[in-house]
Structure 1
Amino acid sequence: MTATSSPPAAASRLDHLGLLYRDAEEYAERCAAFLADGLAAGDPALVAVPGANGDLIRDRLGTGRAEVRFADMAVAGRNPGRIIPGVLLAFAAAHPGRRVRIIGEPIWPGRTGLEYPACAMHEALINVALARHDAIVLCPYDAARLPSDMVEDAWRTHPVMLDGAGRRASPAYGDPVATAADFDVPLPLPPAGAARLVFEGFPDLPGVRAFVAGWADAAGLPSVRRPDVLLAVNELATNTADYTGGPGTLLLWREDAVMVCQIDDQGHLDDPLAGRVPPADSVGRGRGVLVVNELADLVRIHRRPGGTSIRLHFDLGIPPPS
């Protein structure tokens, strides 16, 4: 599971802005103005914001909105680890040789404390993942309703901030990889009754899949989610077998209508962009965490002393058994 990556040496072409807003009127006005500037310049534009926020921007933008692509961040970015590859880089790749303009709102009131570290890590890593792309990304923050520590973190993850005082360089912004590492916090402890399997090497992978399938049957996992769960766990277990020199431990449990899978091993996931930036087509390896990010509703990675823990959440969409 070991990989290495270095931030690009070339000067960044990315303009990553944090926008602090306090009400729907200010939100719509500032976002629409940002898009209007892009439309006037002929920039392809993407708006990836949660739910009804997109309607606020559409209504304010008025004419020309057909030239802007909209995505519901609550769906496309349900798992924050999916946003860079599946939303931002995908949009940039669809417009090669052109400057792209994106509104991305990954943090909003309603994001849980469990999701937040992955969201903040995502914001920090945008500065590395998109550094070579000619892009301007605006990230709105509801300064009136978000906790103050989340607003303070926005100053740490964005080189430039916009608020009522205008545009200014953030005095709190620093090395984005180091900032991202600050959000690599320990995971909550698994429940004592979690199902547990220790496995080692490729010969044990069929047993891992059978263990997950059996647990899924007993827990009543909906059939529509079974392929996602089986493939995601198999990818992580394969990484353990491929990259580490020791055994891995698989834990499975249910939290209300969420299935949780965790793999602990002795590997070291050194690349901060693992699972966020697709490897080159010529590279035949390194896509396991990328696949997992696409399949799961939340992925939390914790680089602990002596190894790595990766926890996956799958929304079952059904009530827990009585």
Structure 2
Amino acid sequence: MNNEDFRHDAAVYTDEDEFLAMAVPFVADGVRLGEPVLVTTTPNNITLLRDALGEDADGFDHAETAYFGRRPPERATEFFRYWQRKNRSGTGRNVRVLAEPLWAGRTESDVRAWRRMESGLNVVLSGTNVWMICPYDTRVVSEEGIAHALKTHPADVRGTRSIPSPDYVDPHEYAHACDSVPLPQRPAAAVVLSLRGDLNALRRFIVSRAIDLGLDEERAAMLTVAVGETLAFLRDDGHVALWPCDGAVVCELSGASAADLDPYAGFRPPEVRAPTEFGDGLWITRQICESVDVRVGQGVTVFRLRMAGPRTAELVRW
């Protein structure tokens, strides 16, 4: 491969030999060509790969996948920033990434968010010269998970052979399918406030209510930052509501859409010198919050921001 656009392949494997048959030539060729190579996978796979590469074992960057972007927006950002740091335009060389997602222990909504991110990388990293292969281990990934991998990656790599996936789905269509899943009903006990009126009063309301629901002052203040960035996508005729949920605080913002919103807005970090179509403010929101769900329909946009409490944040960090 030698082009200036993003290439995104899945690599379904059944055992260690199949993993190495794909990973060794991918990494070794990159090292030989002087291309930056990042590997983020399981500790066992990193050890296998380093042992197999011999003298080339120190020629690539690596990180355990559990610590490389714990949440989908963080992971997409880390990939983009790695490309920014390592890319040398005009050299004709690629930036190679071998990135194995971590699926164990995730809730149904977490899995859906990660699959959505996998599809979204085809949009977020478009225009880069990243060549990414995402391994999927059939010993730990369900048949349904493998099927989704072939929907979110344009091709499947077996060894050194790339096979176009007939099941590949356009990323925006895939996002629409994910976002068609209804959000849980807002609790009747949730405290609701109109978005009309003084913005400072809204901030005070959010801080006060978030602290009452278990956030410390710092996290409550960060939630107001996330809310402030999100309000740019709504008109002032909606509402804000807060309620507790499993050790976290959920903040819902709902109202008439102020602008068309790309389903992958907020997954690429802002450009310093020029705004992008990827929703710079929403990127900040996604970095602050544990999760951000967006639903759009009939002229109304709903944002659900989930802010982990101190104890929950500590547990998910480790």
| Bucket of the pairwise TM-score, normalised by the shorter protein | 0.7 to 0.9
CA RMSD, Structure 1 to Structure 2 (Å):
2.9
The percentage of counterpart residues that share the same residue type is: 30
Worse-matched range after superposition: 54-63 or 134-143: 54-63
User: In structure 1, what is the Cα distance between the partners aligned to 2:231 and 2:311?
Assistant: 27
Aligned pair partner of 1:147 in 124, 130, 142: 142
Residue of structure 1 in register with 2:96 after alignment = 101
**1:3-14 → structure 2 map (5 Å cutoff):** 13-14=5-6
Distance 1:87 1:319, change over 3 A: closer
Distance 1:19 1:198, change over 3 A: same
Kindly indicate whether residue 162 of structure 2 is the aligned counterpart of residue 167 of structure 1: yes
Kindly indicate whether residue 286 of structure 2 is the aligned counterpart of residue 290 of structure 1: no
Deviation at 1:228, TM superposition (A): 2.6
Look up the SS of the partner of 1:183 in the other structure.
Answer: helix
Higher relative contact order, chain-length normalized (CA < 8 Å, sep 6+): 1
Residue of structure 2 in register with 1:199 after alignment = 195
Q: Any idea what the Cα deviations from partners look like across 1:2-24, whole Å, max 9, x if unmatched?
A: xxxxxxxxx97222110112345
TM-score by length of 2: 0.82
Distance 1:282 1:71, change over 3 A: same
Kindly indicate whether residue 34 of structure 2 is the aligned counterpart of residue 39 of structure 1: no
Worse-matched range after superposition: 118-127 or 223-232: 223-232
Worse-matched range after superposition: 35-44 or 183-192: 183-192
Residue of structure 2 in register with 1:310 after alignment = 303
CA contact (8 A) 1:77 1:106 kept: no
Q: Which runs of 5+ in 1 are unaligned?
A: 1-10
CA contact (8 A) 1:239 1:288 kept: no
Deviation at 1:160, TM superposition (A): 0.8
**1:168-183 → structure 2 map (5 Å cutoff):** 168-183=163-178
Paired letter, 1:95: K
Distance 1:315 1:68, change over 3 A: farther
Deviation at 1:313, TM superposition (A): 2.2
Residue of structure 1 in register with 2:226 after alignment = 232
Paired letter, 1:136: W
Distance 1:204 1:53, change over 3 A: farther
Distance 1:57 1:87, change over 3 A: farther
Deviation at 1:71, TM superposition (A): 3.7
Residue of structure 2 in register with 1:219 after alignment = 213
Look up the SS of the partner of 2:12 in the other structure.
Answer: strand
Residue of structure 2 in register with 1:79 after alignment = 71
Deviation at 1:26, TM superposition (A): 4.2
TM-score by length of 1: 0.82
Deviation at 1:292, TM superposition (A): 0.9
Q: Any idea what the Cα deviations from partners look like across 1:154-179, whole Å, max 9, x if unmatched?
A: 11111110248953110111423222
Paired letter, 1:258: A
